[in-house]
Amino acid sequence: MTSITEIPPVAARRSEASTARSERIRLLLRSPTVLIGSIVVAFWVLCALLPGLVAPHDPIFDNQFPVSEKPSGAHPFGTDTNGRDILSRVLAGSRNILLIAPAATLLGTVLGTMLGLVTGYLRGVVDDVVSRLIDAVLALPLIVTAILIVTAVGNSSRWVVVLIIGFIFTPIIARTVRAAVLAEAELDYVEAARLRGERAPYVMFSEILPNVMSPVVVEFTVRLGYAIFAVASLTFIGFGVSPPSPDWAAQINQYWTLIDPYWWMTLFPALAIASLVVAVNLVADGVREVYER
Amino acid sequence: MTRFLFKRLGLALITLVLLSMIVFTVSTILPGNVGRAVLGPFAAQESVDQLNEQLGTNRPVVEQYIDWAGGLLQGDLGVSLTKQVPASDLLRPALENSLKLALVAFLVCIPFSILGGVIAGLRYGSPTDKGITITGISLAAMPEFVTGILLILVFAIWLGWLPVTAQWDEGANVLTQLKYLLLPAFTLTLVLFGYIARITRAGMIEALDSDYARTAYLKGLPSSVVVRKHVLRNALLPTIAVIAVQVGYLVGGLIVVEVLFNYQGIGLLIYEAARQKDLPLLTVGVLVVGVVYLVVTLIADLLYAMLNPRIRFVTAE
């Protein structure tokens, strides 16, 4: 029989958890693809936070330069039809997407984790009903649902887009978390907590939640990639935010019909989106590998 | 197997009913006032009332839903607000066009991505594997309009091999149509490649590591036979499931690709209905997308069950 004294004290268990975490971070940083991805993401975050620092010219005011000039030494990415330096607009264009996508992903992760905990732990009728609703929502591609809601609400401001994508992510994340909770709920520590007379919310959030954090972290990073995908696609077809401030997808929406002959107005924002998307997914893939081993 | 079939059918029907309720709720209740939402904030109250009367959107919500759903069951998909023709007349050709595009995309995509996944799985851990995997991840995450624009730039504008849009002249022959379809299909293909290749690769690695593969090797079969007869058959099972899920994704991708290439499919129809605030057409178009997805996943589930004896017997007990 195990005596009480053999159970490690709480502090020891905490430090065990933190060693596991630092071990994971060490593993993550050892992967060259994760490192490259992180550097690219960090660069765009920096550009979003301090737009004035990196952009050589003002990205917003019209007619600073001759209009529609090909890329040259003075303007490596050329100028647009409003006489603005495209390099400056590209460097300043990460802001919207880096604000909306993480906010939406966070909202979806928080709501989805709660929903997954409740349905996975309580089971029964609640679970059945919610699972069918989740199936129904998932039958529609994200972009179709988003277009329908934006049209119905008649508004596509920043926060509406965050809410829409967050709500659509909720069932997807709930499904993953629910599967993890189902496996955890079978384990002895959950039974022990229940026998101690703990209430369901305590068991769910204080006992089970810390043990399903790995899939939650993985879902967050993977969904972040999708959120960027979705925000950019919505903006491109004109159902996302259309701000006065520069935005890659909005730039493409504005100029892609002029792609022949003004290819530089579309190409450089497109490459910027590509770099961010690939970087985020390289990091997400590394996180998944480290957490799912 | 019959029980499994009926169970899946029943679930699909329940999902369909719920889906129709959700779509209806979003498009009819969320705007608050449908007439106002369609005509905008500056329209006269009279014309708003008139439109609500014409659409029947001034009645109780439950009555509206029953009326709408009853109509759908009898094949009445409603009337487009802006075009004033039955929605079914617009949906049918659009669906046909989208199907054509999706078919070309799948035909191009599936052999390439399965081949990529099989090669990556056979050379697990090698630079070839890493290259295929990273390319796949990057392509799968790329929004279609980005890949589409890059493809247009290279193949249509710089090289001049293919047309920029996907609109051919009336009565063009199959070969010409195919030429116009290649770029949009290829755009869709690139996004799908990553998903399908990744799952095939994972299935290959698992199957190669299994006891039956080891037994086959140990009894002296040449590796080409082991791969063909033992590994591939098992490795491709999860691929079927993933391909089905991708059909749902494909419809989402169709919207962006059809807008980009100005191709008259269901995606462009939904997009235009949304732009013009044609809520009746938009609602039924979205529902059709959901139905397509449900039908395809149902077929894939059944196919998967037929190919996989474990599912067939477990659920039949």
**Residue B60: is it exposed, middle or buried by C-beta count within 10 angstroms (0-12/13-18/19+)?**
exposed
Instruction: Please write the tens of the pLDDT for every residue from A90-149.
Output: 888 888 899 999 999 999 999 999 999 998 888 888 888 888 888 888 888 888 999 999
C-alpha to C-alpha distance for A130 and A93, rounded to whole angstroms: 39
**Is B295 a residue whose pLDDT tops 80?**
yes
| Chain A residue with the nearest C-alpha to that of B262 | A257
Q: How far is CA B268 from CA A271, B46, B98, B255, B272, in A?
A: 25, 32, 9, 6, 6
Instruction: Report yes or no: A65 at the B interface, CB cutoff 8 Å.
Output: no
* Residue from B296, B41, B135 nearest A154 by CA: B41
Residues 194-253 of B with CB under 8 A from A: 248-249, 251-253
Place of tokens 């235009």: B272
Helices of type H across B161-264: 174-208, 211-218, 223-225, 232-261
Rounded Cα distance between A7 and A12, Å, is 10
User: Any residues with CB less than 8 A from the CB of B266 and at least 6 apart, and which?
Assistant: B91, B94, B95, B97, B98, B251, B254, B258, B285, B288, B289
Calpha distance A141→B288 (Å, rounded): 12
| Residue A50 burial (10 A CB sphere; 0-12, 13-18, 19+) | exposed
Lowest mean pLDDT among A155-164, B26-35, B289-298: B26-35
Q: Which residues of B touch A259 (CB under 8 A)?
A: 149, 152-153, 157, 164
Interface test with A, best of B139, B149, B192, B289 (most A CBs within 10 A): B149
Q: What is the mean pLDDT of chain A?
A: 84
Token pair 């607000």: residue? B81
For A237, the closest of B30, B146, B256 (CB atoms) is: B256
pTM of the model: 0.84
| Cβ of residue A232 closer than 8 Å to a chain B Cβ | yes
Q: How far apart are CA A265 and CA A269, in angstroms?
A: 7
Judged by CB atoms closer than 8 Å, whether chains meet at A229 and B259 is answered as no
> Do the Cβ atoms of B252 and A239 come within 8 Å?
no
pLDDT tens for each residue of A42-94: 999 998 888 777 777 777 777 777 877 788 877 788 888 777 888 888 888 88
In tens, the pLDDT along A166-224 reads 999 999 899 889 989 988 888 888 888 888 888 888 888 888 888 888 889 888 988 99
Q: What is the pLDDT of residue A3?
A: 46
Neighboring chain B residues of A34 at a CB cutoff of 8 Å: none
Phi-psi region of A107 (alpha: psi -120 to 50; beta: other; left: phi over 0): alpha
CB–CB contact B274 A147 (8 Å):
yes
- Collect all residues of chain A within an 8 Å Cβ-Cβ radius of residue B14: 132
Distance from CA of B220 to the nearest CA of A (A): 33
8 Å CB contact between A173 and A116: yes
Q: Is A206 left (phi over 0), alpha (psi -120 to 50) or beta?
A: alpha
Cβ neighbours of B252 in A, within 8 Å = 141-144
- The secondary structure element, H or E, covering residue A231 is helix A213-236
Buried b (16+ CB within 10 A) or exposed e, B261-293: bebbbbbbbbbbbbbbbbbbbbbbbbbbbbbbb
* Closest Cβ–Cβ partner in A148, A237, A285 for B286: A148
Please say if the pLDDT value at position A4 is more than 50: no
Q: How far is CA A27 from CA A20, A24, A286, A289, in A?
A: 11, 5, 9, 10
Phi, psi at A275, each rounded to 5°: -65, -45
Tell me what ipTM this predicted complex has. Answer: 0.84
Residue A79 is given by DSSP the state B
Cβ distance A282 to B134 less than 8 Å, yes or no, reads yes
pLDDT tens for residues B96-112?
989 888 888 888 888 88
Answer whether B143 sits within 8 Å of A150, measured CB to CB: no
Two structure tokens written together for B260? 């980009």
